[in-house]
A and B are shown apart, each in its own frame.
Chain A
Amino acid sequence: MESKPFIEMKSIEKVYPDGTVALRGVDFDVGKGEIVGLLGENGAGKTTLMKILSGLLPPTGGEIYADAKRVNFRNPSDALCVGIGMVHQFFALVPPYSAVENILLGQEAAGPFAFLDMEAAKKRLAELAEETGLEIPLETPIELLPVGVQQRVEILKVLYRGTDLLILDEPTSSLTPLEVGELFRILRRLKETGKAIVFITHKLKEVLEISDRIVVLRNGLVTGRLPTEEATPEKLAVMMVGKEVVPRVTREEKAPGEPVLAVKNLQVMSDFGTLAVKGLSFEVRAGEIFGVAGVEGNGQSELVQALTGLRPPKSGEIELNGADVVRFGPRELYKTGVCHIPEDKARFGLALNLDVAENSILGRQWEPGFLLRMGRLDWGKIVEFAEKLMVTFNVIAPSVRTTVKSLSGGNQQRLVVGRELSKQPALVVAAHPTRGLDISSTVYIQGLLIEMRDEGKGVFLVSADLDEIMRLSDRIAVMYEGEFLGVGKAEELSREEIGLMMGGIRPKGGSQ
Chain B
Amino acid sequence: MKRFEISTRARPLVESVVTILIGLLAGALLMMPFGYDPIEAYQALFKGAFGSVPDVLETVAFATPLMLTATTFAIGVKTGLFNIGAEGQMYLGAIGATAVAGLIPLPVGLHVAAATAFAMLLAALWALPPALLKIWRGVHEVISTIMFNWIATHLSMYIAIYYLAQPGRAERTVPALPSARYPILTEEATLTAVIFVVLAFCIGIYIYLWGTKAGYELRLVGENPEAARYAGVSSRRAVLLSFIIGGLAAGLAGASQIIGRPPAWSLYATLGNVTTLGFDGIGVALIGRNHPIGGIFAAILYGALQHGGRYMEYHAGVSSELVRAINGLIVVSLAVPEIGAIIRRRLKR
- Residues of chain A touching chain B, judged by Cβ–Cβ distance below 8 Å, are 308-310, 329-332, 334, 340, 342, 347-354, 358, 361-363, 365-366, 370-371, 374-377, 379, 398-399, 401-403, 406
Contacts and interface: CB of A to CB of B under 8 A. Distances in A.
Interface of B: 1-2, 4-5, 8, 211-214, 216-217, 219-220, 223-224, 226-232
Given A376-B211, A377-B211, A330 B230 contact: yes
Q: 6 tightest CB-CB pairs across the interface, nearest first?
A: A331-B232, A363-B231, A351-B223, A330-B232, A348-B230, A351-B224
A254 to B, nearest CB: 33
A406 B11 CA distance: 15
B252 to A, nearest CB: 22
Given A352-B224, A362-B220, A377-B211, A330 B231 contact: yes
Contacts, number: 78
Given A353-B223, A354-B219, A354-B223, A375 B214 contact: yes
19 contacts: A308-B230, A310-B230, A330-B231, A332-B232, A347-B227, A348-B227, A349-B230, A350-B224, A352-B224, A361-B216, A362-B227, A365-B213, A365-B216, A365-B220, A371-B213, A377-B216, A398-B1, A398-B2, A401-B5
A361 B216 CA distance: 10
Given A347-B227, A366-B232, 19 more contacts: A310-B229, A330-B231, A331-B231, A349-B227, A351-B220, A353-B223, A354-B220, A361-B216, A362-B230, A362-B231, A363-B232, A365-B220, A370-B213, A371-B213, A376-B211, A376-B212, A377-B211, A403-B8, A406-B4
B130 to A, nearest CB: 25
Contacts of A331: 231-232
Most A C-beta atoms less than 10 A away, residue of B214, B226, B228, B229: B226
B262 to A, nearest CB: 37
Contact of B226 (A332, A348, A361, A379): A348
Contacts of A310: 229-230
B53 to A, nearest CB: 37
A366 B230 contact: no
B276 to A, nearest CB: 31
B232 A350 contact: no
Please classify the interface of chain B as helix (H, G, I), strand (E, B), loop, or mixed, using the class held by over half of its residues: helix
Nearest to B219: A354
Given A330-B231, A348-B227, A348-B230, A358 B216 contact: yes
B84 to A, nearest CB: 23
A347 to B, nearest CB: 5
A374 B8 CA distance: 32
Nearest to A358: B216
A353 B344 CA distance: 13
B251 to A, nearest CB: 23
A170 B46 CA distance: 67
A48 B151 CA distance: 55
Given A330-B231, A330-B232, A398-B1, A347 B226 contact: yes
A36 to B, nearest CB: 38
A371 B212 CA distance: 8
A399 B5 contact: yes
A353 B216 CA distance: 13
A37 B5 CA distance: 52
A435 B220 CA distance: 25
Given A347-B226, A398-B2, A329 B212 contact: no
A365 B231 contact: yes
A330 B229 contact: yes
Contact of B230 (A363, A365, A370, A401): A363
Nearest to B341: A353
Nearest to A345: B227
B221 to A, nearest CB: 10
B233 to A, nearest CB: 8
A13 to B, nearest CB: 31
A309 B231 CA distance: 10
A464 to B, nearest CB: 21
A351 B212 CA distance: 17
Contacts of B220: 351, 354, 362, 365
Given A310-B229, A340-B230, A363-B231, A402 B5 contact: yes
B223 A377 contact: no
A330 B231 CA distance: 7
A350 B220 CA distance: 9
Contacts of B232: 309, 329-332, 334, 363, 366
Contacts of A398: 1-2, 4-5
Contacts of A334: 232
B217 A365 contact: yes
Contacts of B223: 351-354
A445 to B, nearest CB: 19
A351 B123 CA distance: 32
A440 B188 CA distance: 70
B1 A366 contact: no
Given A371-B213, A377-B212, A402-B5, A351 B230 contact: no
Contacts of A374: 212
A285 B124 CA distance: 52
Given A358-B216, A398-B2, A350 B211 contact: no
Contacts of A349: 227, 230
A362 B225 CA distance: 12
Given A342-B230, A362-B227, A363-B232, A375 B212 contact: yes
Nearest to A329: B232
Contacts of A329: 232
A350 B226 CA distance: 9
A338 B226 CA distance: 18
A154 B22 CA distance: 50
Contacts of B212: 374-377
B227 A375 contact: no
A361 B1 CA distance: 24
Contacts of B229: 310, 330, 348
A303 B83 CA distance: 36
Most A C-beta atoms less than 10 A away, residue of B217, B219, B230: B230
B80 to A, nearest CB: 11
B4 A351 contact: no
Most A C-beta atoms less than 10 A away, residue of B214, B224, B231: B231
A22 B232 CA distance: 37
A401 to B, nearest CB: 8
A471 B3 CA distance: 42
A314 to B, nearest CB: 19
Contacts of B226: 347-348
B304 to A, nearest CB: 31
Contacts of A353: 223
Contacts of B228: 351
Contacts of B216: 358, 361, 365, 377
A301 to B, nearest CB: 13
Nearest to B345: A353
Nearest to A328: B232
B335 to A, nearest CB: 20
Given A331-B232, A348-B230, A349-B230, A366 B213 contact: yes
A399 B9 CA distance: 13
A67 to B, nearest CB: 41
A305 to B, nearest CB: 10
Most B C-beta atoms less than 10 A away, residue of A342, A365, A374: A365
A70 B232 CA distance: 56
